[in-house]
Structures are given as C-alpha cells and as structure tokens.
Amino acid sequence: MPNLERYSRQILFDPIGREGQERLLRSRVVILGMGALGTVAAELCARAGIGSLVLVDRDFVEESNLQRQILFDEQDAAEHWPKAAAAERKLRKINSEIKVKGLVLDANASNIEHLVRNTSLVIDGTDNLETRFLINDACVKLRIPWIYGAAVASEGATLVILPGITPCLRCIFEDLPPVGSAPTCETAGVIGSVVTVVAGLQVAEALKILVGRTNDTNRRFRMFDVWKNSFREVDLSRARQGRGCKACGEGAFEFLQARRLSQTLRLCGRNAVEVLPGRPVQISLAKLEQKLALAGPVQSNPYLVQCRLEGLTLSVFGDGRALVQGTQDPGVAKSLYAKYVGS
C-alpha cells in the first residue's frame, strides 16, 4: 500500500483530495524529452505521486545543461550520462514508491505509438516543432491527452490538447516554419525561470486531467515573457478544430507516417546534429570502442561511446543513433557517421 501521508498536503487540496490522489497513483505519464522542461516536469510528477513515469530522451548530459536541467549534476555531465538514465536514477531517490523507467532512445515515427499507447497522458519536453507534430499525430490518433510546452530566451508557451474536444496542434500551426525563421535556445539562449514556469503550468494541467477534472483545464493558448512581465492568452474556442486540419480533421498523419521526418536533426541549444540510421540496428559498443580508439581519444559508459575525430565529437548510442558535435551541417555529420560507424 502506498504511503498517503507523504501526499497529505496535496490531499488537503480539495480539487484533488484522497480520491484524486489515488487516481494519480494509478496513472501512467510519458514525458518525451528530458531537457529543461522535461526534468522540471518529471520531478513535479514524481513528487505528486503519479504512479508510473516513462522518461524518453536521446541525449546525454553536458555541463551547459546544468543551468536549467534540474535533475542533473556535475558528475552526470563529466560522465556524459544519458539524460533518461540519469533522470530515472534521481527520481527513484525522490520517490521510491512509484515506477520510473528511463528510455535512452529517439522518439520517432517507428516507435512513438508504442511509447505512448496505454498512457494516461503525455507531457511535451521536446525542443522542436517537428517532433511535437509527431507527438500530436500519435496522440490524436490514439485519443491521448497531451500538453505542449515551449521555452526560449525569457518567453514561454503552453497548450492543453484533448483529442476530440479541443483543437490539436496542427489546427493552430498548420506546418513547419521555414528553417532558421524561429529563435532557438542556441541563438537566443534561455533562462531557467521561464522553464520552471512553463513546466509548472504543464504539470498543473496534467494533474487536472489525471484526477478527472478535465473541465478545469485551461483551453487557451498561453504565451508569456517572464523578463518583460507580459502574459496573454489566445481564445481557441473559434479555432478551426478539425476543419481543414491534416491531423484531427483528415486523419492524414503525415509525421506519424514518416513522410515528413528527416534523418538528421539539428539540436536546440547545441552546435550539433543527430544522425539516425536508415534501419533498426543494434551496435556492439565494446567493439565500436575498440575500433574508434584507433582513430582518436575514446570515452564510454554503458550507454554510449564518444570519440574526438577530425575536430568534431562523435557520440554513438547502442541503437545506432549518433550525435555529432561541432557542426550544424547535416552533410558533415552524416559523412563522419558513415566513415567511422557505417551506413
């Protein structure tokens, strides 16, 4: 039996109460992305007693993450520990009564439905609109509530998406913006306080849904700037829900069908490119380490092998994915991958 005393102050909050707390303990939430938003949201969810948390992230911890990604420490960065694994380790110490599973992998068209199926709710902790459109496709198709969140510089935004009830993300953003047209945390930076505000609002909305108070959710698109002291909401009650929408209107899940997904992806806040293998693979990291050691200095842990090559840093995961740091050119990244890992 779970120890409800640890949630006593939350149970005293009437909209949750004992029944709501018991519902939280029976809930399963997937958080996609264990960066700034994901780590804050994950800790809040763990402390709130959400019974099962699945944490998904493709990346590893670096020193520049520590300013805003609250679950990580200097040792995680020094050892390049995968974010999902490091987050799982920390959350198990925060709340040993819940189930926490960290998955070191890339959420993509081939696995997203499996990741979110039979889930109570999905929280967006990703850093690009392409992946968010993929989440939207999967959640709309499977009728799973999800909560969008974004933060860059001092600006933040949140949106609750209840498939079949509210407009979906593609009702609002019809397509991807032109490359380079939107600010990123690499070009504009990001302060930790806006991250905390966005993730806090995401989790507040998640709790409403999980305890059965869906009518209390905020159905507006919220945008704010914590530095300029501005806050505004866009009423979506007249939005074109379903009408002309590729996803919830036509059921044309373009991103889910991998028609629009790239094989390389520039990472927000990083001078780096992710390279995805063209087919499912499983790499022997031990053998790869021996191979790369002939070409440059190697560092490894149970999840990845990292090597300095041709002025760039190549980090390869067991599922064949790689991060190439030191470039934003997909061609350069793919060339380095093919040369040292294979095609």
Q: Active-site residue numbers?
A: 185
Query: Per-residue b/e over 272-306, b at no fewer than 16 CB within 10 Å?
Result: bbbbbbeeeeebebeebbeebeeeeebebeebbbb
Distance CA 130, CA 108 (A): 10
Residue among 194, 113, 115, 204 nearest 160 (CA): 204
Q: Give whole-number Cα distances, 320 to 44, 282, 284, in Å.
A: 32, 6, 9
Distance of alpha carbon 291 from alpha carbon 164, whole angstroms: 52
Query: Is 321 in contact with 274 (CB distance < 8 Å)?
Result: yes
Provide CB contacts within 8 A for 222, sequence distance 6+: 157, 158, 159, 201, 231, 232, 233
What would the two tokens of residue 126 be?
Answer: 């990703």
Side chain identity at 281, as an amino acid letter? Answer: V
